[in-house]
Structure 1
Amino acid sequence: MSVTTYKWTIERYHRAVEAGIFNDQPIELLHGDLIFMSPEREPHAYYNTEAADYLRHALGARVKIRDAKPITLPNDSEPAPDIAIVKPLGEVYLEHHPYPEDIFWVIEFSQATLSKDLGQKKDIYAQAGIPEYWVVNLKTPQLRVFRDLKNGQYTTELVLTTGTIASLAFPDVSVEVEPLIGRSKIF
């Protein structure tokens, strides 16, 4: 006996969401598979919110910061990263979620989902052409930064526990690492 799984397309997934099939359950579409998202624990929610507020202040009107909102990717994926830093396109987002060309970088905060964030999600973001991907590991406080796309893969990985980092898109804005990973007072 063989098992066949059903692969969702973005279009079918959107129709199912509009029809209310998932009853507002927290799910995301990754490579055509429906993934039920784990509930956030308090540290995850706290650092996610604080970092989003900090980035809003630091980057101002140059970006739109989206917290746990979907982004639409060409590989039958519609993840909801913890933070997506996107172009401020206003009402364009009434028509569609941000596409890869609208996204400066994404950030995931990991407590229970580190292997998925460093594996499947990293691959999906790289294949979609997201220029930069940050993963905050809340268990072993560190920031992993993935950059420099080549052939659908990130070729550079930085692991930081102190200091500052600037995104590729905004080299003039330094982000302190220690508060981001939970090692000092938040911003």
Structure 2
Amino acid sequence: MTITTYKWTIERYHQAIAAGIFDDQPIELLRGELIVMPPEREPHAYYNTEAADYLRILLGERVKIRDAKPITLPNNSEPAPDIAIVKPLGKVYLEHHPYPEDIFWIIEFSKATLSKDLGQKKEIYAEAGITEYWVVNLNNSQLQVFRDLNNGQYTTELTLTRGTISPLAFPDIFVQVESITGNR
């Protein structure tokens, strides 16, 4: 017997959302597969909120900070990253979620989902052309930074616990690592 799984397209996924099929379950679409999102625990919610507020102050009106909102990627994926730092396109986002060309960088906060965020999600973001991806490892208060895309893969990985880092899109901005990791 052969087992065949159904692969969702973004269009069908949006139709199912509009029909209310997933109203009771937080999910995201990764490479055509529906992934149930685990409940967010208190540390994850706290650090995510604090980092988003910090980045809003730091970057001001140069960006829009989207917390746990979907982004639409060409590889049949519509994840909802913890923080997406995107172009401030206003009402354009009434028509569609941010596309890769609208995204400056993405941040995920990870404890239980660390292997998925460092594996499948990192691959999906790189394939989609997201130029910079940060993972806050809540198990050890580290910031892992992935950048420098080449052939759909990140070629540079930095692991930081303190100091500052400038996002590729904003070399004039210095982000305090401790303000992102909560390691103050």
Q: TM-score, normalised by structure 2?
A: 0.98
The code of the aligned residue for 2:37 comes to M
Check whether the contact 2:107–2:136 (CA below 8 A) recurs between aligned residues: yes
2:47 match: 47
Alpha-carbon deviation of 1:179? Answer: 3.0
Matched, 1:10 2:10: yes
Q: What value does the CA root-mean-square deviation take over the aligned residues?
A: 0.7
Native 8 Å contact 2:54 2:179 kept in 1: no
Q: Structure 1 stretches (4+) deviating beyond 2 angstroms?
A: none
* 2:75 is the counterpart of 1:72: no
TM-score, normalised to structure 1's length? 0.97
Indicate the percent of aligned positions where both proteins have the same amino acid: 80
AA partner of residue 34 (structure 2): L
Kindly tell me the number of residue pairs found equivalent between the two proteins.
Answer: 184
Aligned amino acid, residue 26 of structure 1: P
SS in structure 2 opposite 1:155?
Answer: strand
- Alignment partners' CA distance in 2, 1:97 and 1:79: 11
Counterparts of 1:140 and 1:59, CA distance in 2: 26
Q: Deviations over 1:96-119 (max 9, x none)?
A: 000000000000000110000000
Q: Which runs of 5+ in 1 are unaligned?
A: none
1:2-30 CA-to-partner distances (Å, cap 9, x unmatched) read: 21110000000000000101124210000
Task: Tell me how far 1:153 sits from its aligned partner.
Answer: 0.4
The letter of the residue matching 1:111 is: K
Offset of 1:182 from its aligned partner? 2.3
Q: Residues 67-106 of structure 1 correspond to what in structure 2 (within 5 A)?
A: 67-106=67-106
Instruction: For 2:73 and 2:178, locate their aligned partners in 1 and report how far apart those are by CA, in whole Å.
Output: 31
Q: Please give the secondary structure, in 2, of the residue aligned with 1:140.
A: coil
